[in-house]
């Protein structure tokens, strides 16, 4: 499902020093597999996910998703592949505040090959327990409900791969556990592979397969390596 080979990414620090943040020789995920990736804040794991998702262009190496090589595509191609095969759950949910719950999910679908499907969006929202909140705006929901919208949005398009970046980082322990269970359960139902990154041992402990990002990332291990703004939690 996901194959990463010799993936590299470096950034130039404000001082003008180029530093490598990601160097992953090999990483793979099978269809339907659920893997948790352990990593400290600033270790480059968000950048790794951005590279897989094609949000960032890699300096070198290959990322293949469901047979399509992300790293060989231009920006528009990466957008298309991301919209068609990937679901992304962000730590801060990244919901569109001016759009209703239903519109957030419908918009997420509309960029994919299947296009917007309101019935499908409603079905997924009902699945995550928000069928009665379709017309609400994110600001009118609790934090846990917002994360459920984000999960619904990531899965509504029936992606092959779901990337989750600290999805419980903004939730309390109880809601975090519920959100995590929901993500894993819905991914299983949709047959999507799940790659989740976290530094929270309570979250990591729930996964059968856990990998240490530091073990697969050969970059950024020397002191003073610059970190891109995108990968730093402030």
Enumerate binding residues for another protein (CB under 8 A): 46-47, 50, 53, 55-56, 75-76, 79-80, 82-84, 88, 90-92, 94-99, 103, 106-108, 110-112, 116, 153, 166, 169-170, 228-234
233 C-beta neighbours (distance < 10 Å), count: 11
Q: With respect to another protein, which residue has the nearer C-beta, 42 or 144?
A: 42
Q: How far is the CB of 25 from another protein (least distance, A)?
A: 23
Q: How far is the CB of 209 from another protein (least distance, A)?
A: 25
Give the span between the Cα atoms of 232 and 234, in whole angstroms.
Answer: 6
Q: How far is the CB of 131 from another protein (least distance, A)?
A: 21
Give the span between the Cα atoms of 35 and 23, in whole angstroms.
Answer: 19
Burial class (CB in 10 A: 0-12, 13-18, 19+), 68: middle
Give the span between the Cα atoms of 123 and 200, in whole angstroms.
Answer: 31
- In the block, tokens 């528009």 appear at 76
Q: How far is the CB of 134 from another protein (least distance, A)?
A: 15
Give the span between the Cα atoms of 168 and 89, in whole angstroms.
Answer: 10
Question: How, if at all, do strands 34-38 and 193-198 pair?
Answer: parallel
Write the DSSP symbol of residue 217: B
Q: With respect to another protein, which residue has the nearer C-beta, 18 or 234?
A: 234
Q: With respect to another protein, which residue has the nearer C-beta, 33 or 110?
A: 110
Q: How far is the CB of 159 from another protein (least distance, A)?
A: 10
Q: What's the CA angle centered on 204, arms 198 and 209, to 5 degrees?
A: 115
Q: With respect to another protein, which residue has the nearer C-beta, 24 or 28?
A: 24
Q: With respect to another protein, which residue has the nearer C-beta, 3 or 107?
A: 107
Give the span between the Cα atoms of 23 and 187, in whole angstroms.
Answer: 28
Can you tell me whether residue 218 is helix, strand or coil? coil
Q: With respect to another protein, which residue has the nearer C-beta, 169 or 226?
A: 169
Q: How far is the CB of 201 from another protein (least distance, A)?
A: 19
Give the span between the Cα atoms of 203 and 184, in whole angstroms.
Answer: 12
């Amino acid at each position: 499902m996901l194959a990463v080979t010799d993936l590299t990414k470096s950034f130039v620090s404000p001082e003008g020093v180029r530093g490598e943040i990601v160097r992953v020789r090999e990483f793979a995920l099978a269809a339907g597999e659920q893997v948790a990736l352990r990593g400290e804040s600033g270790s480059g794991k968000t950048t790794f996910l951005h590279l897989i998702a094609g949000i960032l262009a890699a300096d070198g190496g290959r990322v293949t998703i469901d047979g399509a090589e992300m790293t060989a595509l231009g920006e528009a191609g990466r957008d298309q592949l991301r919209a068609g095969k990937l679901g992304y759950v962000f730590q801060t949910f990244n919901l569109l505040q001016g759009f209703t719950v239903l519109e957030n999910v419908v918009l997420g679908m509309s960029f994919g090959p299947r296009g917007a499907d309101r019935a499908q969006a409603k079905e997924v929202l009902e699945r995550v327990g928000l069928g009665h909140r379709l017309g609400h705006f994110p600001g009118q929901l609790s934090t846990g409900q917002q994360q459920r919208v984000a999960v619904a949005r990531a899965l509504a398009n029936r992606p092959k791969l779901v990337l989750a970046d600290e999805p419980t980082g903004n939730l309390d322990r109880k809601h975090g556990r519920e959100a995590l269970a929901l993500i894993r359960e819905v991914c299983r139902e949709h047959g999507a592979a799940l790659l989740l990154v976290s530094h929270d041992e309570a979250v990591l402990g729930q996964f059968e397969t856990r990998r240490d990002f530091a073990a697969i990332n050969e970059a950024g291990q020397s002191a003073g390596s610059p970190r891109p703004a995108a990968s730093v939690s402030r």
